Copies of this chain bind each other. A is one copy, B any other.
Amino acid sequence: MARKTTAERRRQVSQIVLGIIAEQGIEGVSMEAVARAAGIVPSALYRHYAGKDEMILAALNSFIDELETRMRALGPRPAAEVLAGMLAVQAEIMPLQLAIPQILFSPASKDQRELHRQAVKNLQDRILGGIAEVVQRGQAEGQFSPDIDPLAAAHLFMGLLVIVTLRWYVVGAAYDAAAMKKEGWRILELALGSAKSRSGAGRKGRRRKE
Residue A159 is within 8 A (CB to CB) of chain B in the complex: yes
Determine the residue in chain B with the shortest Cβ distance to A108: B27
Which of B26, B158, B188 sits near A163, CB closer than 8 Å?
Answer: B158
Residue A180 is within 8 A (CB to CB) of chain B in the complex: yes
| Most B C-beta atoms less than 10 A away, residue of A146, A155, A208 | A155
Residues of chain B with a CB closer than 8 A to A104's CB: 101, 166, 169-170
Residues of chain B with a CB closer than 8 A to A117's CB: 169-170, 172
Which of B107, B152, B187 sits near A191, CB closer than 8 Å?
Answer: B187
Which of B26, B124, B128, B159 sits near A160, CB closer than 8 Å?
Answer: B159
The complex places the Cα of A160 from the Cα of B75 at a distance, in Å, of: 28
Main secondary structure, interface of A, reads helix
Determine the residue in chain B with the shortest Cβ distance to A164: B155
A2-16 to B contact mask, C-beta < 8 Å, 1/0: 000000000000000
Residue A69 is within 8 A (CB to CB) of chain B in the complex: no
Residues of chain B with a CB closer than 8 A to A158's CB: 159, 163
Number of A interface residues in the complex (CB < 8 A): 53
Residue A37 is within 8 A (CB to CB) of chain B in the complex: no
Determine the residue in chain B with the shortest Cβ distance to A195: B190
Determine the residue in chain B with the shortest Cβ distance to A27: B107
Residues of chain B with a CB closer than 8 A to A36's CB: none
Residues of chain B with a CB closer than 8 A to A124's CB: 166-167, 170
Instruction: Give the distance to chain B from A44, nearest Cβ to Cβ, in Å.
Output: 22
The complex places the Cα of A158 from the Cα of B160 at a distance, in Å, of: 8
Instruction: Give the distance to chain B from A149, nearest Cβ to Cβ, in Å.
Output: 5
Residues of chain B with a CB closer than 8 A to A197's CB: 194
Residues of chain B with a CB closer than 8 A to A170's CB: 104, 117, 120-121, 124
B190 touches A194 (CB 8 A): yes
Which of B105, B153, B186, B191 sits near A98, CB closer than 8 Å?
Answer: B105
* A-B pairs with lowest CB-CB distance, top 9: A159-B159, A191-B191, A101-B101, A152-B183, A159-B163, A194-B194, A102-B105, A190-B191, A121-B170
